[in-house]
Every structure is written in structure tokens, then in C-alpha cells.
Chain A
Amino acid sequence: DVKVTQSSRYLVKRTGEKVFLECVQDMDHENMFWYRQDPGLGLRLIYFSYDVKMKEKGDIPEGYSVSREKKERFSLILESASTNQTSMYLCASSSFPRGNSTDTQYFGPGTRLTVL
């Protein structure tokens, strides 16, 4: 079974703090993704990575950065947390799309972050 784990289920931080969200997958997947999910706005892609040390901006990268030093681990960093970053953060991983591969994304359980 594919497993994607996230370091925390719930996190409470104060405005201005630096926040690290960690994601680990055990399927040797090349691609990893960070989304945030908000009521009425659905899931929006923040950043993704298709290889170690490679990163690409998604639809809403402002206020975030990422790090991928090892294939299995993808970190999301909030340099200076703000209240509008209160959200559910979901990590996902997938393999490269090859031929008829399913390349479905496998999701972690999510981290609910509250910034006070």
C-alpha cells in the first residue's frame, strides 16, 4: 500500500512564526505536491516537485517555499505565517505518467494549520 504521511494532523502557530510542514512518501515516487484546501475554493496547488532539488510554482505560491533534498521527502515552508494561511494542507505524490500508467496522486491525511 502506498503511504503518504504528514508530520502533524493539527498545528497552531502565531503570526510571524516560521512554519515547516513535512511530507514523506514510501513508494519511490518522482512527483510530490503541496495543496491547500479552503471552503468554497477547493484544492489549490501551491508547489510541486518532479525530482530531487527541483521545484515548480503552482497556482498560489506566494508566501510559501519548498524544499526537496531527498526523493521521499517534500517540505512546505511558511517563512512568516499570516492569518490568511490558516487552512488544511494536503501533500500528494505520484509516479511519472508512462504509457498507460494510472499516475494517480496519493494523498496524505492533511495538516490543519491555524495561525493566530
Chain B
Amino acid sequence: KQEVTQIPAALSVPEGENLVLNCSFTDSAIYNLQWFRQDPGKGLTSLLLIQSSQREQTSGRLNASLDKSSGRSTLYIAASQPGDSATYLCAVSYVIKAAGNKLTFGGGTRVLVKP
């Protein structure tokens, strides 16, 4: 059974510092890996998706790497801002039927960026 772990569970940094969020998973037979952001009381917003054949994806200040063989992904957020304060969730996807996929989520890392 796939298990996804995110460490640390919470992180507090001063504005301007780079953020490093870690995700590990136990089964490397994944279809892709995604990073989501969740604001308090809200739904999830997809930030980055890395296909299993890729090693990284970038979007603006965000960069996510994937090492399938070791079961790890890292999300880097450069020059953090107070608006980056949120919970970040990692999820791995695998195909369960010919036309369907399934996500298994980590517990999330709650980030606070102090002005």
C-alpha cells in the first residue's frame, strides 16, 4: 500500500528565505507526482505536476524535483513572501483502471512566512 510522508509538518521562516519542503513515498510505481497548495478552509490548488519520466518542473519561484528510485520529491520556493503562507500537500498518482487514476496524499506541511 502506498504511503506518502511529508516532513516537517510545520515550518516558519522570515520573509525572503527560501523554502524547502520534502515528500517521500514508499512505492516507486507512480504515474506522476503533484504538489498542491491549500489555504485555510479552502480547497486544493494544483501548483506543479511532474510526470514519472521527468526529474523536475518549474513555475515562477517554484521548483519541484522528483527522484522516483529513492521515492522522494522536494518543493523549493524561492524568496518566500507572506502570501506563500499555506499548507502544501504532496500527492502521488497511479493508474488503477484503464481510464482512471488515484491520488494518495501526504499529511501536508503548514508554512508560515513572517513579514
Nearest neighbor of A98 in chain B, beta-carbon distance: B99
Assess whether A109 is in contact with B42, with CB atoms less than 8 Å apart.
Answer: yes
Compute the total of residue contacts between A and B using a CB distance below 8 Å. Answer: 66
Assess whether A42 is in contact with B106, with CB atoms less than 8 Å apart.
Answer: yes
Residues of A close to B78: CB separation below 8 A: none
Known: A42-B89, A100-B51, A104-B49. A90 touches B44 (CB 8 A): yes
Interface residue from B51, B91, B100 paired with A48 (Cβ < 8 Å): B100
Assess whether A96 is in contact with B100, with CB atoms less than 8 Å apart.
Answer: yes
Nearest neighbor of B47 in chain A, beta-carbon distance: A104
Residues of A close to B105: CB separation below 8 A: 42-44
Bound form: Cα–Cα A33–B45 in Å: 15
Assess whether B100 is in contact with A104, with CB atoms less than 8 Å apart.
Answer: no
Interchain nearest-CB distance for B101 vs A (Å):
5
- Which A22-77 residues sit within 8 Å CB-CB of chain B? 30-31, 33, 40-45, 48, 50-51, 56, 58
Residues of B close to A45: CB separation below 8 A: 102-103
Assess whether B97 is in contact with A107, with CB atoms less than 8 Å apart.
Answer: no
B31 at the A interface (CB under 8 A): yes
Interchain nearest-CB distance for B87 vs A (Å):
10
Assess whether A30 is in contact with B99, with CB atoms less than 8 Å apart.
Answer: yes
Which B residues are within 8 Å of any A CB, using their own CB?
Answer: 31-32, 34, 36, 41-46, 49, 51, 89, 91, 93, 95-97, 99-103, 105-108
